[in-house]
Amino acid sequence: MGIGFREHVASLLAVFIALAVGILIGVSLSRQEPLERRMAALTQQFQGLRQENRQLRDSVSMLERGLRARGEFEAPLLSSLVAGRLPGVPVALVWVGNFDEVRFEHDIGQTLALAGANVVGSVSLSPRFAVSVTGDKAAGASDESPSGPDSPGETISRVGRMVGAGLWEQLRPMAQMGLVTWSGEARGTPRVVVVVTCLQDDTAAPLEPLLPHLVEGLRENAGYVLAAEPASAPHSSIGVYRRSGVTTVDNVDTVPGQVAMVWALASRAEGAFGIKDTAQALVPKQ
């Protein structure tokens, strides 16, 4: 009995199906090897990244140990390096910016005390003050009317004049409004002033143009002005102060930076000191 048409068609379909299945299996097998190679490569890369991560952690740990060791070594030397450099010199401190994230290796006030200086006042310009001054809404200060309105540059310049002249009581209206604060008992007229600045990137643009006005006001009464900032400051203001002709220290949060600060105050040195690209030397020449 011969093969019918239907049986012939069915056999042909079976052949085509078998061919299609074979092709699919072949394609699948041909793709298997590259996939396995890719998986092996990814596994190797992941293991390499884990190794690099371990090495980075080890490096960070070593650096932290080195920093602690350096601090333990330098701290005892600080007293001998600054002792007696500023005997009885009245100093005022002005703080500009946010120092919440800054870790000082040694307190600046204590370092000045070790040098024999007398800190007559420590004034901080609050964030609210910066916003108000930038917004042209700050309460100005003058000898006759401390609460009268004023322009931003003139306001911060008058603050500088008051600090430089030791007119602490005339800052009280601003303190009552929370625009400035001071620590300790502010009294006496400073001979030198240290402005410590730590600006964030988002606050630098509106506040930095006012810093020369602050310096201008301070210089009217203080004999010498030094500007300092932590090495870890998110935004450096050293360039602004240098263009105003002010001596600077760019690593005042460290022991070497505080030594540079005291030596500069003692000799009224001119220049830029510290470790950043703007620095001319680590410390002033002795």
What is the C-alpha separation between 258 and 283, in angstroms, rounded?
A: 9
Instruction: Count CA within 13 A, CB hemisphere, residue 247.
Output: 27
DSSP 224-235: EEEEE--TT-SB
pLDDT tops 60 at residue 3:
no
Supply 17's token pair.
């199906």
Instruction: State the average pLDDT for the chain.
Output: 81
Query: Which residues, including other chains, have CB under 8 Å from residue 49's CB and lie 6 or more apart?
Result: none
| More confident site: 64 or 53 | 53
Mean pLDDT, rounded, for 192-210 = 86
What is the C-alpha separation between 6 and 89, in angstroms, rounded?
A: 115
Mean pLDDT, rounded, for 241-248 = 97
What is the C-alpha separation between 231 and 196, in angstroms, rounded?
A: 12
Cite the DSSP H helix spans in the chain.
5-82, 108-114, 127-134, 152-165, 172-176, 201-207, 211-219, 238-243, 255-267
Supply 96's token pair.
């500009």
What is the C-alpha separation between 252 and 232, in angstroms, rounded?
A: 10
- Residue 49, amino acid: L
pLDDT tops 90 at residue 226:
yes
Q: How far is CA 187 from each of CA 37, 164, 171, 199, rounded to the nearest angstrom?
A: 76, 12, 12, 27
Query: Which residues, including other chains, have CB under 8 Å from residue 137's CB and lie 6 or more apart?
Result: 149
Q: Closest by alpha carbon to 231, among 258, 212, 208, 209?
A: 258
pLDDT tops 50 at residue 137:
no
- The model's pLDDT over 202-212, given as tens digits with 9 standing for 90+, comes to 767 777 888 99
pLDDT tops 50 at residue 84:
yes
Q: Closest by alpha carbon to 95, among 112, 109, 110?
A: 109
Give the chain's length: 286
Supply 108's token pair.
């600046």
**3-state secondary structure (DSSP) of residue 127:** helix
pLDDT tops 90 at residue 198:
yes
What is the C-alpha separation between 13 and 25, in angstroms, rounded?
A: 18
Mean pLDDT, rounded, for 77-89 = 93
Phi, psi of 237 (to 5 degrees): -110, 10
What is the C-alpha separation between 124 and 175, in angstroms, rounded?
A: 10
pLDDT of residue 109: 94
Mean pLDDT, rounded, for 49-65 = 69
User: Which of 31-40, 64-73, 242-251 ranks highest by mean pLDDT?
Assistant: 242-251
pLDDT of residue 1: 44
Mean pLDDT, rounded, for 76-104 = 92
pLDDT of residue 75: 64
Model confidence at 46, pLDDT cuts 50, 70, 90, reads confident
pLDDT tops 50 at residue 4:
yes
Mean pLDDT, rounded, for 273-278 = 96
- Residue 26, amino acid: G
Query: Which residues, including other chains, have CB under 8 Å from residue 242's CB and lie 6 or more apart?
Result: 248, 272, 278
- The model's pLDDT over 230-242, given as tens digits with 9 standing for 90+, comes to 999 999 999 999 9
| More confident site: 61 or 248 | 248
Mean pLDDT, rounded, for 149-166 = 83
pLDDT of residue 67: 56
Model confidence at 130, pLDDT cuts 50, 70, 90, reads low
Model confidence at 28, pLDDT cuts 50, 70, 90, reads low
| More confident site: 244 or 39 | 244
**What value, to the nearest 5°, has the Cα angle with vertex 216 and ends 211 and 218?**
95
